[in-house]
Amino acid sequence: MASIPQPAIGKARQELYRRMDKDNLAPLWEVLHNLIPNEPSTPCRPALWKYRDARPYLMEAGKLISAREAIRRVLILENPGMRGESCITQSLYAGLQLILPGEIAPSHRHSQSALRFIVEGAGAYTAVDGERTVMHPGDFIITPSWTWHDHGNPGAEPVVWMDGLDIRIVQTFGAQFHEPFPEEVQPVARSEGASAARFGNNLLPLGATAPFGRTSPIFNYPYARSRESLAKLAQDQDPDPCHGWKMQFLNPLTGGHAMPTIAAFIQLLPKGFSGEPCRSTDGTIFSVVEGAGSALVGAERFELEPRDTFVVPSWAPLRLEARGETVLFSFSDRPCQEALGLWREKRG
């Protein structure tokens, strides 16, 4: 081998690659380092969407297309490092959905799971497998995989929420299914609050089985209750140096995350909080609920106001600061990573 000159070897290799390419073969040694980088490598970039900038576009869309025609009138929050791919992180989709007074968004079901985090307005409802729940700002609402769902706004004001879906994850497995309901609005089969009464009071009807498989049977976690828990937690214990007081939404039937693919969290930062940096392998989407502060994500600094959305890529260091008492909602693909033994966090 030592007798073959380097340029000749280079040429011979290229020639070999060209011939094997026709047979759908490629040399691993040319891509090995990209395939298994030393640390997470992602096209996902830190990004901030100011609600005050996004809202006018959403309202203009409200004049140009109805929720019925659009099926879902949503502005996709596209990660600037992955434009055109309809995703906010490598694994998750997010968007801002508007439903105007008097509108309905027709019923369908799909194997992708969805969450809604209510950003503005009250009085719209979402229906999940025959039960309606009314939306209020700060509520965390789940549409479990393969459940019929439609939305309506019988109220008097526009309602906007952030959608989060596991579209990419389901796509990775090639397990996508979708079906329209035969009517635009599904019939109401249970009284409002039925799921909360059955599963949300630390009680369980004898013999009850999980109505939504691996997803929490509670599909609306009202903000009033989350906020109360945060306030009480803050009275009695010191904040975590990175996360403040942070809680995860639970599935009461399993004690695990509320959704099988997506974890959701709510956290409170005290006035004047200056957090320590922390990174984790789950790229995370945040929605600002109350307060004001900043998020330092890698080299970027985002000034935060209520209703803003920002994204922290996998393994990007995050430091949170709060000028006033601040509440953040967030979601990520952590349950998938935990199930596979992949999730890591590093403080400092």
Residue 163 near ligand 1HN by CB under 6 A: yes
> Closest CB to ligand 1HN among 96 and 268?
96
CB atoms within 10 A of CB 41: 11
Residue 72 near ligand 1HN by CB under 6 A: yes
> Closest CB to ligand 1HN among 114 and 297?
114
> Closest CB to ligand 1HN among 215 and 281?
215
Q: Which residue from 95, 121, 155, 291 is in contact with ligand 1HN, where contact means CB under 6 A?
A: 95
Residue 74 near ligand 1HN by CB under 6 A: yes
φ/ψ of residue 344, rounded to 5: -135, 150
- Could you tell me the smallest distance in angstroms from the CB atom of residue 109 to ligand 1HN? 9
Residue 168 near ligand 1HN by CB under 6 A: no
> Closest CB to ligand 1HN among 131 and 163?
163
Q: Where are the alpha helices (DSSP H) in 126-216?
A: 167-172, 194-199
Q: How far is residue 347's CA from residue 325's CA, in Å, rounded to a whole number?
A: 23
> Closest CB to ligand 1HN among 73 and 243?
73
> Closest CB to ligand 1HN among 108 and 246?
108
Residue 166 near ligand 1HN by CB under 6 A: no
> Closest CB to ligand 1HN among 79 and 267?
79
- Could you tell me the smallest distance in angstroms from the CB atom of residue 164 to ligand 1HN? 9
Residue 114 near ligand 1HN by CB under 6 A: yes
> Closest CB to ligand 1HN among 55 and 149?
149
- Could you tell me the smallest distance in angstroms from the CB atom of residue 328 to ligand 1HN? 22
Q: How far is residue 65's CA from residue 81's CA, in Å, rounded to a whole number?
A: 28
Residue 104 near ligand 1HN by CB under 6 A: no
Size of the residue set binding ligand 1HN (CB under 6 A) = 8
Q: Residue 79 has what DSSP assignment?
A: -
Q: Which residue from 149, 168, 279, 334 is in contact with ligand 1HN, where contact means CB under 6 A?
A: 149
Rg, the chain, Cα only:
23
Residues in a beta bridge with 327: 268, 290
Residue 77 near ligand 1HN by CB under 6 A: no
- For 62, half-sphere exposure in the C-beta direction (CA atoms, 13 angstrom radius) is 19
Instruction: Give the strand pairing for 309-312 and 284-290.
Output: antiparallel
Question: Residue 157 has which token pair?
Answer: 């004001």
Q: Where are the alpha helices (DSSP H) in the chain?
A: 6-21, 32-35, 51-64, 67-70, 167-172, 194-199, 223-236, 334-339
Contact 283, 314 (CB under 8 A): yes
Contact 345, 280 (CB under 8 A): yes
Q: Residue 274 has what DSSP assignment?
A: B
Residue 162 near ligand 1HN by CB under 6 A: no
**Contact residues: ligand 1HN, CB under 6 A:** 72, 74, 95, 97, 114, 149, 163, 165
